[in-house]
Amino acid sequence: MDRLRFLLRRVGRFAVSLFALFALTFLLVHFVPGDPVRASLGLLAPQELVEARRQELGLDRPLPEQFARHVAALARGDLGTSLSVRRPVSEVIAERLPATLALAGGAMLIVVLAGTGLGLAAAAVGAGGRRPGADMAFNATSGLLTSTPEFVTAVALTSLFAVALSWAPVAGRGGAASYVLPTLALALGPAAALARVVRTEGLRVLEEDYMRAARARRLSAWRLYAVHALPNCLTAALTVSGLILGGLVAGTVLVENVFAWPGLGSAIVTAITQKDYPLTQGVILVLGALVLLINFGVDVLITWLDPRSALARH
């Protein structure tokens, strides 16, 4: 029963966050100092065009009415019309979202699998300070990867594998090979960050009485680590995963720009520089909603895997 109430509260929080995100993106254009339409069309645009655009965007109406129209439009799946390419924003997003999702999804898979696997392995190898050398190597490598931003990783991977070795395409989205470098660029840092958390948690878990009891039963390494230790590390791993994977979604913006990846990230940069407010609003709304969805999904997963600790945390 507690679990259900907890889940309902999470759903409520998700809904409130989504609404706040929506309201903020709606207000974006109103926060712009001066006249956003004039800024977007340039100083030389004729006044009639500015007036027409203002009307098209509904900016001539009172704020509450604008908001109501905005909500109604969203319910129809209408996010307005892009000022720069003169096409419905929803169409541009629908065209580019799959590329971003494929990139982010692949990277998340790598982050979760490699992060937990390597973190737990590092904990198993270094438990009790038995191998200071291995510990130091893990800490140095993961520390370096964690503090390397994704766009730097992307540039480094490109110059090494695409340019120097010609193993992978330099840019663009094509066959499976074109996914390798962008996905790695996006995944390496977050995977290292997650591995560090899992290792710390793993070291704690391996010292628990139930792990000593499991060792007393002389189980296989697989059962010892995968069946007994891993589930107890997962709650902590998941808790930080929400944060890490959310950051990964934002990271697509940078990585897509390095690899000329035809996703939302490359669209939003052009939209911001060209002051295409409807498109900017639409992309921020979608990326933001993706982040909130990930956080919500992680919360649900924690409740399902480890109801006691999720409820205790609350």
Partner 1 sequence: MDLTDPRWRDGRTRLGLAAGAALLALVTVGPWIAGEAAGTVRLDHMLEGPGPAGLLGTDELGRDILARVVVASRLTLGLGLVATLLGASVGVLVGALPAVTPPWVGRLIATLTNLALAFPTLLLTLFVAAILGAGAQSALLAIALAIAPIFARLTHTLAAGVGGADYVTAARALGARPLTILARHVLPNIAGPLVVTAVMAMGGAVVVLSGLSFLGLGVQAPAYDWGGLLNHALGRVWTDPAPALAPAAAIVFTGLALSLAGEAASILLGLSPVRRRPPPAARQAPASSLLSAGGLLDIGGLDVEVADARGAPLRIVKDVSFSLRAGERVAIVGESGSGKSMTVLAAAGLLDGRATASAALATFGAAPLLGARATADERRLGGEMPVIFQDPLAAFNPLLPVGVPLVEVGMRHGGLSRPAARARAAERLGEVGLIDAARRLTQPPHAFSGGMLQRAMIATALMAEPRLIIADEPTTALDVTVQRQVLERLGAACDETGAGLLLISHDLAVVAETCERVLVMYAGRLVEDLPVADLVSGPAHPYTRALLDCLLGPDADRGKPLPVLEGRPPRPEEEIAGCAFAPRCAFADARCRIETPQLAVIGARRVACWRPLQVRRAA
Q: Which is nearer to partner 1, 48 or 269 (CB)?
A: 269
Residue 207 is a binding residue for partner 1 (CB under 8 A):
yes
Amino acid at 149: P
Residue 249 is a binding residue for partner 1 (CB under 8 A):
yes
According to CB under 8 A, which one of 214, 267, 286, 310 is a site residue for partner 1? 214
Residue 12 is a binding residue for partner 1 (CB under 8 A):
no
- CA diameter of the chain: 83
Q: Which is nearer to partner 1, 87 or 215 (CB)?
A: 215
According to CB under 8 A, which one of 181, 292, 298, 310 is a site residue for partner 1? 292
* Cα distance between residue 242 and residue 291, in whole Å: 8
Amino acid at 314: H
- Interface with partner 1 by CB under 8 A: which range of 56-64, 77-85, 87-95, 214-222? 214-222
According to CB under 8 A, which one of 253, 267, 298, 302 is a site residue for partner 1? 253
Q: Which is nearer to partner 1, 72 or 228 (CB)?
A: 228
* Cα distance between residue 80 and residue 56, in whole Å: 9
- Spell out a b/e string for 46-63, using b for 16 or more CB atoms within 10 Å of the CB, else e: eeeebeebbeebebeeee
Confirm if 14 and 6 have CB atoms less than 8 A apart. no
- Interface with partner 1 by CB under 8 A: which range of 45-53, 59-67, 102-110, 272-280? 272-280
Residue 232 is a binding residue for partner 1 (CB under 8 A):
yes
Residue ranges in 167-206 that form contacts with partner 1 under rule CB under 8 A: 170, 206
CB of 204 to partner 1, least distance (A): 12
According to CB under 8 A, which one of 288, 298, 302, 310 is a site residue for partner 1? 288
Q: Which is nearer to partner 1, 48 or 278 (CB)?
A: 278
Residue 8 is a binding residue for partner 1 (CB under 8 A):
no
- Spell out a b/e string for 250-274, using b for 16 or more CB atoms within 10 Å of the CB, else e: ebbbbbbbbbebbbbbbbbeebeee
Q: How many residues bind partner 1 (CB under 8 A)?
A: 75
Q: Is 71 left (phi over 0), alpha (psi -120 to 50) or beta?
A: alpha
Other C-beta atoms closer than 10 Å to the C-beta of 215 total 12
Residue 35 is a binding residue for partner 1 (CB under 8 A):
no
- Interface with partner 1 by CB under 8 A: which range of 61-69, 75-83, 110-118, 212-220? 212-220
Pick the closest to residue 176 from 256, 106, 90 (CA basis): 106
According to CB under 8 A, which one of 49, 155, 226, 311 is a site residue for partner 1? 155
According to CB under 8 A, which one of 108, 268, 286, 310 is a site residue for partner 1? 268
Residue 10 is a binding residue for partner 1 (CB under 8 A):
no
Residue 210 is a binding residue for partner 1 (CB under 8 A):
yes
DSSP 165-176: S--S-SSS--ST
Q: What DSSP element (H or E) covers 187?
A: helix 177-206
Residue 105 is a binding residue for partner 1 (CB under 8 A):
no
Residue 251 is a binding residue for partner 1 (CB under 8 A):
yes
Residue 300 is a binding residue for partner 1 (CB under 8 A):
no
Q: Which is nearer to partner 1, 48 or 99 (CB)?
A: 99
Other C-beta atoms closer than 10 Å to the C-beta of 116 total 23
List, in sequence order, every beta strand (DSSP E) within 170-313. none
Alpha carbon separation from 250 to 63, 137, 148, 164, 288 (Å, rounded): 30, 29, 15, 28, 9
Residue 152 is a binding residue for partner 1 (CB under 8 A):
yes
| C-alpha radius of gyration, the chain, whole number | 24
